[in-house]
Chains A and B, each alone.
Chain A
């Protein structure tokens, strides 16, 4: 009906004509349907509906499953039987992980598999290996576009190939081409990241699930490019939605993707408690300062992030940990420093707290309960001198008070009722809520700390828009993100907290709400260490990241990486601890040697470059700098991918091409249903399986590889059809029926009517 609308909008004189049409629409469309169905019937006769496999679109499945491409329309056949093994070695505060994934092709043809997998958001991926039979093939790091081309060429040539690409800093995809019938391919990738520490507790998270993300619809808005000049622009907040939506498995379909895990922990100090909040683990101690950790149940399903926490034995925790590595004549430093306990000697500043709570559909169930409880707890900890406000959002938003109000009994009662009434529903349009939360009525008020607490699962895809909004509107506010649920989008939340100069807290299950929220609230109540600065020795002019150093709250360590010519002299840290100056000197020469520090530095630098990308105007130069770093240090990034190709072709020459000839993927007959769509069967003799296959074949060779040097995007295409043909068809049918009836009537009048009607009853 869209063309009706469009026409009536431009030519008002056609409106009277449209009225009778809409009134008679039902009847006419019915007639059209009948006819179309009749004409399409012979086409369907050859179909084999019983053999058609269950097709999934990328937006239909839930856990990371291996998908085999089927046909050109972004549909996949789900292939189970992928298993992952994760092996992690923790040395000091660096974790190095080896992930091994086994893919098996259950089909009778050659297939391409694609696996979407999550990693910690500060992970630096540097190695890809592929095992075929007994041979190992090592991947090479290439510019993303080049890697894609190499992969596509190998795929077309029938060679086995694997390609690891970064979709988000914490989400990667692994594509494997030309898996033979019934064949198993093992792909191994390695990454490292530094361990988080908070309040004496060390924490490592291994994300195992990519939560389905809410992707806001493209919106049309007025954009002022130059003052006084307005144009309408349609902006798609998630240009790469097709790439980052992993298929979603219905929970009732059983769980897939078993994961086994092996962790060697050697933190460099005497170990206290070792715990995993969500999984049962088996711990074997090796002396006082090392341990082996495995899963108590052997294997788990990849449905909940794995988390491991450990503490030092009382008194054994180091105040500062320094690691160094020398690569190509340059020294890299990783430092983790615990500042002194921040005493609360002086009166605390009152705060203006804005709570933003996500009640979108992705939060439903346990997550919503956790968020509600977390927020109620935070409300209970407000002091009479504080002021507060609450904003809730799904695809709509509400603000409880017009401006922050005093935390008195009346207001708190109102707030509790508001929170208790929240139900999870709808989409996640976070931007308006974020902007509303950052509106500061008193930007010059230094007597109060303005803190924005964001409770969400972060299941959104328009991160960049949100980051830009945070950077533009932060002012004196500080943003603290609280990740809710079993698989929050921790990349978004930790990055949002970084931009918001606050911190990120993850709440995995209801039992943690109290402790984690208490830790956060305690942190927020206490004064922060601000204006942190490093003074490097003498002439050494190191490049250090993060830069500038973020504010520090009680219990948090300072983590920084630096590259310098040589390691000598003292590094001096200074800051403002609740109004008093604080400083600390560390001898750089005392750093222990470690591995992977250079890559961690490079990863931090890449993250920093990505972070300021929204501010820079010259994206090309910016991206070139980023690419140079990623290539030099061999890291997978937005602009670089790992690709491995087997030199010998394994798919017989002249044999089937993945999407064209695998019987499982493209059985004769089911093309029609797929191409015609589910609403109306079409009537066009020109459509044949061959033409569709041609389209599929050309797609693999002729379209430019989806490169990601700028933004990987597929332009949304407007509709390209009018209803003219349908209307003409319906009109002709109606006229034909009229003519037929007239003919019958005339014949009857002249006595040639059907014999049975003239016969006496």
Chain B
């Protein structure tokens, strides 16, 4: 009883103090306090939810990293957490900017809250055609605005072999008229897609597309040993 009473008593004292403080205020000041309380409440709610989205995106990548390790070890469809309905299919690295992300098997809204998604209607990286990977511009693909032509992107699939792609260009397209013809025979290409413009507060129908083309030739052994993001490679 005493344990329960103590916090209750403390609360009562607090309320009492607040009441005394309020009693010293006139009507307009009381109104101001109410408005302040309202703004604090709204502010915290919005800020909290916004940060929650960001945190979720970041934290999920840690769990996904573990699932990815299991995938590389040979576990197919390794789920990051038991109730997840998505699994990692690739790892995307941007060595120059020191960014990396685990790519999920679907580009659904649910999946993209946790990581970039591979558009299922496009081929997997390494296969003929354009592989499309989509992520949010304000979380996993925020770095796309810093990508420059001729940058190197690296995709590692479940077989553990990294594939190098060189950025060939950028495009701003309408979402429903992307011009991306995914299943064209020919060398493997990559399209990283996010919303455009960067920094805009609302969605919209424009998409920013980073095009990259497979680099021929062997992959340097240094890159195969590559482990954590930003572990110095290309300048």
- Interface membership of A32, Cβ < 8 A: yes
B192 CB to nearest chain A CB (Å): 10
Q: How many residues of A contact B (CB 8 A)?
A: 81
Which residue from B113, B178, B195 sits with its C-beta under 8 Å from A6? B113
B43 CB to nearest chain A CB (Å): 3
In chain B, what residue has the closest Cβ to A5?
B109
A714 x B179 contact (CB < 8 A): yes
A725 x B119 contact (CB < 8 A): no
A635 CB to nearest chain B CB (Å): 23
- Interface membership of A287, Cβ < 8 A: no
A3 x B113 contact (CB < 8 A): yes
> How many Å lie between the Cα of A618 and that of B51 in the bound state?
51
B202 x A20 contact (CB < 8 A): no
B145 CB to nearest chain A CB (Å): 7
A28 x B46 contact (CB < 8 A): yes
Task: Please judge, given known A-B contacts A2-B203, A687-B197, A722-B136, whether A675 and B172 are in contact too, CB under 8 Å.
Answer: yes
In chain A, what residue has the closest Cβ to B32?
A745
CB contact list, A720-734 vs B, under 8 A: 720-734
A686 x B199 contact (CB < 8 A): yes
A741 x B32 contact (CB < 8 A): yes
Which residue from B32, B44, B107, B173 sits with its C-beta under 8 Å from A718? B107
- Interface membership of B45, Cβ < 8 A: yes
Q: How many residues of B contact A (CB 8 A)?
A: 80
CB-defined contacts of B200 to chain A, threshold 8 Å: 676-677, 680, 682-684, 721
B42 x A702 contact (CB < 8 A): no
In chain A, what residue has the closest Cβ to B194?
A720
CB-defined contacts of A723 to chain B, threshold 8 Å: 50, 53, 202
CB contact list, A693-732 vs B, under 8 A: 694-695, 698-699, 701-704, 706-707, 709-732
Which residue from B48, B113, B183 sits with its C-beta under 8 Å from A731? B48
Task: Please judge, given known A-B contacts A706-B179, A720-B193, whether A734 and B138 are in contact too, CB under 8 Å.
Answer: no
B149 CB to nearest chain A CB (Å): 8
B47 x A728 contact (CB < 8 A): yes
Mark contacts of B65-87 with chain A using CB atoms, 8 A cut-off: 1 yes-contact digit, 0 otherwise: 00000000000000000000000
A215 CB to nearest chain B CB (Å): 10
A729 x B44 contact (CB < 8 A): no
A715 x B202 contact (CB < 8 A): no
- Interface membership of A156, Cβ < 8 A: no
CB-defined contacts of A199 to chain B, threshold 8 Å: none
Mark contacts of B169-180 with chain A using CB atoms, 8 A cut-off: 1 yes-contact digit, 0 otherwise: 111111111111
B110 x A24 contact (CB < 8 A): no
Which 10 residue pairs of A and B lie closest in terms of their CB atoms, listed nearest first? A731-B47, A702-B169, A734-B43, A731-B46, A684-B199, A727-B50, A728-B50, A6-B109, A735-B43, A682-B200
Where the two chains meet, the residues of B that have a C-beta atom closer than 8 Å to any C-beta of A are 29, 32-33, 35-37, 39-54, 57, 107-110, 112-113, 117, 119-122, 132, 134-139, 141, 145, 168-185, 189, 193-209, 211
Where the two chains meet, the residues of A that have a C-beta atom closer than 8 Å to any C-beta of B are 2-3, 5-7, 9-10, 14, 17-18, 20-21, 24, 27-28, 32, 36, 72-74, 233-234, 241-242, 675-677, 679-680, 682-684, 686-687, 692, 694-695, 698-699, 701-704, 706-707, 709-738, 741-742, 744-745, 748-749
Ordered by A's residue number, 11 sampled pairs between the chains whose C-beta atoms are within 8 Å are A242-B177, A679-B204, A684-B197, A698-B171, A703-B179, A709-B185, A714-B176, A717-B178, A738-B43, A745-B29, A749-B29
